[in-house]
Amino acid sequence: MFDLITIGRSNMDLFSMQIGADFVDTESFAAQVGGSPTNIAIGTAQLGLNSAALTAVGNDLVGDFIIKYLERKGVDTSLIPRKPGLSSLALLGVKPPSEFPLLFYRENPPDIWINIDDIPDLTQAKAFLISGTALSRGTCADATFYAAEAAKSAGCTTYLDLDLRPDQWTHTMAYGTTMRRIMPMVDVIIGTEEELWAAINREPDGWHGNEAVTAEEKQAVEAWIQAQVKDTAVNQTIVLKRGKDGVTFFQSGQDPIDVVGFPVEVLNTVGAGDAFASGLIFSRTNGKSWEDSGRFANACGAIVVTRHGCAEAMPTLEDVETFLEERNK
């Protein structure tokens, strides 16, 4: 029995070692593994869950690296097939506090060719995590919709991390049309105001990717959330990430729950959302309340932004407990 199965992209991440330098002045990189759902598999495994990554890699050395790295981090790799194409690569610059350029090399990556036959028996999982980008290209979209139905039928708690990566979609509006199809099929939706706006916006003129929402767009997001949770027959939770301000949980028929964030000095924001999702899923899988889970997840995100890297920055359970104990003094 798996505690968690994640589905979606994986890649070798090359992090600039020259912190604060312009990307063009990078002299060396550190190799890690990334891709939002794969990071969440790593993050939850670091915390102690039995986590498996459902992705795909090529028959190449980068694919070998990804699998060996995941095994070293305690992630089950038995669900990872080899597919045609070169394994994915991402290059990341680190120029705090706000510049973190990210370049993807994903021309026909193997993970977009996950198919329905690759979906395992989801009655053998407690939780299933869908990455929004898993729905962007190839047969992985069909496989993900199939898996969402199978997870619901199996009684497996299904999380959707909206994971907006505009450059991975064939058209700017395709993200929204797809998210609006998948959102009713899951138990928990995780996203920022920008990601939720991109998911609900139906007008091309309103598209702006991950840029900050306007006051009007923020109101539209809040109105959409209120409409979603108004129906008490729908047992769904919307997790609105607010960055340094923490998180708000919206549940059907209940008052919102605000959980404040932790002020820290930011070194690198890449991976903060994945660490947050890891902490949230770990806590909920272990029966914690939404409020306690939010505090734990906020701590995971806060720890990661103070560290260099993404997968390598994911905290252990001891790290988080120590962090929280120090904040309680």
- The alpha carbon of 197 is separated from its chain's Cα centroid by a whole number of angstroms, namely 17
Q: Using pLDDT thresholds of 50, 70 and 90, give the confidence band for residue 80.
A: very high
In this prediction, residues 263-269 reach a mean pLDDT of: 90
**Nearest 5°: phi and psi at 102?**
-135, 125
d(CA 60, CA 82): 9
248 contact partners, CB below 8 Å, separation of at least 6 = 239, 240, 242, 256, 257, 258, 259
For residue range 24-69, what is the model confidence (pLDDT) as tens digits? Answer: 999 999 999 999 999 999 999 999 999 999 999 999 999 999 999 9
In the predicted model, is pLDDT for residue 148 greater than 80? yes
DSSP state of 252: T
d(CA 94, CA 309): 9
pLDDT at 111 (0 to 100): 98
DSSP state of 82: B
In this prediction, residues 271-298 reach a mean pLDDT of: 97
Q: Which fold has domain 2-327?
A: UDP-N-acetylmuramoyl-L-alanine:D-glutamate ligase (3.40.1190)
Could you tell me the two tokens for 171? 């058209």
**Nearest 5°: phi and psi at 276?**
-60, -50
In this prediction, residues 301-311 reach a mean pLDDT of: 92
Between 100 and 329, the more confident residue is 100
- The alpha carbon of 244 is separated from its chain's Cα centroid by a whole number of angstroms, namely 17
> Is there a contact between 143 and 56 (Cβ–Cβ < 8 Å)?
no
**Nearest 5°: phi and psi at 328?**
-90, -10
**Domain segments of the chain as ranges:** 2-327
Q: Per DSSP, what are the bridge partners of residue 54?
A: 7
- pTM assigned to the model: 0.96
In this prediction, residues 181-204 reach a mean pLDDT of: 97
DSSP state of 312: G
d(CA 273, CA 259): 15
Q: Using pLDDT thresholds of 50, 70 and 90, give the confidence band for residue 262.
A: very high
Residues 53, 50, 266, 321: what is their CA dihedral angle, to the nearest 10 degrees?
A: 180
**What percent of the chain has pLDDT above 90?**
88
Count of helices and strands (H, E) across the chain: 9, 12
DSSP state of 123: G
> Is there a contact between 6 and 129 (Cβ–Cβ < 8 Å)?
yes
For residue range 219-242, what is the model confidence (pLDDT) as tens digits? Answer: 999 999 999 988 777 789 999 999
In this prediction, residues 126-138 reach a mean pLDDT of: 97
pLDDT at 149 (0 to 100): 97
